[in-house]
């Protein structure tokens, strides 16, 4: 069972790499500073490994023992946490959505806490509050920095020095990848450390390497989404986005707070879009999809981990069946609402079926 936990953790780490790619070098790639997508992915992988090994320990401790009592983190429970989080993340990866691994991991851990009726509630409330505040802060800071650059006429000054601008953006993107390593690697190895399978130092290296490999193998689709499909931005705007995200994530990591890296970066990108197009930036379908996935994913991983504990740990298959029925009913209800809306739309435009 220990080897199964390690295997699942490494598979989860690969998916974290695929999702985390867009949250770092995606900005440099999208603005054209890095021409080839593979170079962007390689720089991202190196930055993540360095971030994990140098400063990833505090968040690993939080994921491993800061949310629920360590006595409940047996090897089977760790497998359930990682499987629940990995399934949620995999779904996001195949749809090309940059998802926060922190949200799905914390959601899965909380599902265990709910099942055992044991959670460190004040710490959880604090973390969730940070999830709400930090992306908003990134949005505001990005807009403010953009305005500051315009007031000080730094944009015109830097645009005349293209090479310097390109180097600064690549450095900023690498800095953001470093911050991702500090924060996101913990999601794959934190439960393993909490169960005593690895110590913190081992977890940093093993997780960092696995996530880096995941960047190279799975990151292309998500890096295209974050870099190209949300809003077009210049190199200067890319520097603002990357430096804002990296600074906020590194600050959170120092205090051991798992924060939504992808949401922070995407919020910064939306801040740039807002400064250009106002509220129109929120009308894009890709943004709507991002918001939906962010809300649903932690709840989805929470429900999965809770249901798996009821079935495979407590042998309470009745509770498991109830969860499945409720989940299926919810999906069916959503589908029904969409169907009704479509029928109303057809009537409104005068469409007639044969």
Quick one: pLDDT at residue 353? 46
Whether the predicted pLDDT of 142 surpasses 60: yes
The domain total for the chain is 2
Tell which residue, 93, 84, 15, has the closest CA to residue 298: 84
Asked if 111 and 137 sit in the same domain, the reply is yes
Count how many residues are written for the chain: 354
pLDDT at 21: 63
Q: Which of 37-46, 54-63, 79-88, 155-164 has the lowest mean pLDDT?
A: 155-164
**Residues 141 and 235 occupy one common structural domain:** yes
Q: How confident is the model at residue 354 (pLDDT cuts 50, 70, 90)?
A: very low
Of all residues in the chain, the percent with pLDDT exceeding 90 is 44
Distance of alpha carbon 233 from alpha carbon 227, whole angstroms: 9
Instruction: Clarify whether residues 208 and 332 are in a common domain.
Output: no
The answer to whether residues 246 and 172 touch, using CB atoms and an 8 Å cutoff, is: yes
* Candidate ranges 42-46, 88-92, 325-329; pick with highest mean pLDDT: 42-46
State the chain's mean pLDDT as an integer: 84
Q: At what angle do helices 75-94 and 101-116 cross, to 10 degrees?
A: 140
For 55, how many CA atoms within 13 A lie in the half-sphere containing its CB? 21
pLDDT in tens, 251-303: 999 999 999 887 887 788 888 888 887 877 676 666 666 667 677 778 888 98
- Tell which wins on pLDDT, 52 or 16: 52
pLDDT of residue 256: 95
Determine which of 9-13, 33-37, 59-63 has the lowest per-residue pLDDT on average. 33-37
CB 236 within 8 A of CB 93: no
Token pair belonging to 285? 């379908």
3-state secondary structure the chain: CHHHHHHHHHHHHHHHHHHHHHHCHHHHHHCCCCCCHHHHHHHHHHHHHHHHHHHCHHHHHHHHHCCCCHHHCCHHHHHHHHHHHHHHHHHHHHCCCCCCHHHHHHHHHHHHHHHHCCCCHHHHHHHHHHHHHHHHHHHHHHHHHHHHHHHCCHHHHHHCCHHHHHHHHHHHHHHHHHHHHHHHCHHHHHHHHHCCCCCHHHHHHHHHHHHHHHHHHHCHHHHHHHHHCCCCCCHHHHHHHHHHHHHHHHHHHHCCCCCCHHHHHHHHHHHHHHHHHHHHHHHCHHHHHHHHHHHHHHHHHHHHHHHHHHHHHCCCHHHHHHHHHHHHHHHHHHHHHHHHHHHHHHHHHCCCCC
Q: What is the pLDDT of residue 227?
A: 65
Q: What does the pLDDT read at residue 56?
A: 95
Note whether 124 and 174 are same-domain residues.
yes
Q: Do 102 and 251 reside in the same domain of the chain?
A: yes
Which of 11-20, 193-202, 282-291, 310-319 comes out lowest in average pLDDT? 282-291
Question: Residue 305: which of 15, 130, 86 has the closest Cα?
Answer: 86
pLDDT at site 290 = 66
To 10 degrees, what angle do helices 162-184 and 235-254 make? 30
228 and 347 together in one domain: no
* pLDDT per residue as tens digits for the range 14-25: 888 887 666 678
Q: Is the pLDDT of residue 350 over 90?
A: no
pTM of this structure: 0.84
- 99-135 pLDDT per residue, tens: 678 888 999 999 999 999 888 999 999 998 998 899 8
Average pLDDT over residues 57-61: 95
- Count CB neighbours of 118 within 10 A: 13
5-14 pLDDT, tens per residue?
999 999 889 8
- Whole-number pLDDT of residue 97: 59
Q: Judge if 270 and 346 occupy the same domain.
A: no
CB-side neighbour CA atoms (13 Å) of 23 = 35
- Please tell me whether residues 311 and 323 are part of one structural domain: no
Residues 308 and 351 in one domain: no
Through-space distance between the first and last CA atoms of the chain, rounded to whole angstroms: 58
Q: Is 196 left (phi over 0), alpha (psi -120 to 50) or beta?
A: left
Task: Give pLDDT, residue 293.
Answer: 66
Answer yes or no: do 122 and 102 share one domain: yes
pLDDT over 60 (residue 352): no
Structural domain span for residue 156 = 2-315
287 lies in the same domain as 332:
no
Q: 299 and 329, same structural domain? A: no
With a CB cutoff of 8 Å and minimum separation 6, the contacts of 342 are: none
79-107 pLDDT, tens digit each: 999 999 888 777 765 655 556 788 889 99
Structure tokens at 300: 């989805």
Instruction: Read off the pLDDT of each residue in 214-233 and give the average, rounded to a whole number.
Output: 74
């Amino acid at each position: 069972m220990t080897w199964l936990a390690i295997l699942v953790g490494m598979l989860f780490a690969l998916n974290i790499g695929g999702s985390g790619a867009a949250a770092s070098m995606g900005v440099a790639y999208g603005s054209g500073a890095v021409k080839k997508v593979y170079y962007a992915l390689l720089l991202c992988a190196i930055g993540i490994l360095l971030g994990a090994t140098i400063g990833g320990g505090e968040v690993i401790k939080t994921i491993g023992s800061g949310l629920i009592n360590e006595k409940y983190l047996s090897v089977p429970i760790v497998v359930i946490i990682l499987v629940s989080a990995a399934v949620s993340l995999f779904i996001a990866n195949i749809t090309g959505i940059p998802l926060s691994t922190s949200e799905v991991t914390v959601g899965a851990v909380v599902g265990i806490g709910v099942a055992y009726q044991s959670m460190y509630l004040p710490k959880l409330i604090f973390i969730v509050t940070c999830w709400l505040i930090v992306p908003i802060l990134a949005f505001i800071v990005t807009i403010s920095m953009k305005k500051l650059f315009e007031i000080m006429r730094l944009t015109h000054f830097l645009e005349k020095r293209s090479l310097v601008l390109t180097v600064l953006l690549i450095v900023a993107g690498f800095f953001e990848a470093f911050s991702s390593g500090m924060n996101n690697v913990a999601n794959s190895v934190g439960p393993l450390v909490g169960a005593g399978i690895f110590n913190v130092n081992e977890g940093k290296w093993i997780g960092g390497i696995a996530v880096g490999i995941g960047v190279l193998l799975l990151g292309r689709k998500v890096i295209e989404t974050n870099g190209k499909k949300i809003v077009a931005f210049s190199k200067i705007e890319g520097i603002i986005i990357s430096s804002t995200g990296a600074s906020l994530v590194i600050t959170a990591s120092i205090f051991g707070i798992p924060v939504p890296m992808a949401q922070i970066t995407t919020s910064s990108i939306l801040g740039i879009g807002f400064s250009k197009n106002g509220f129109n930036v929120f009308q894009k379908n890709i943004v709507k999809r991002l918001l939906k996935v962010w809300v649903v994913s932690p709840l989805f991983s929470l429900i999965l981990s809770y249901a798996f504990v009821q079935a495979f740990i407590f042998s309470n298959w009745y509770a498991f069946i109830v969860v499945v029925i409720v989940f299926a009913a919810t999906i069916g209800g959503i589908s029904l609402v969409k169907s009704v809306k479509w029928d109303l739309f057809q009537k409104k435009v005068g469409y007639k079926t044969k």
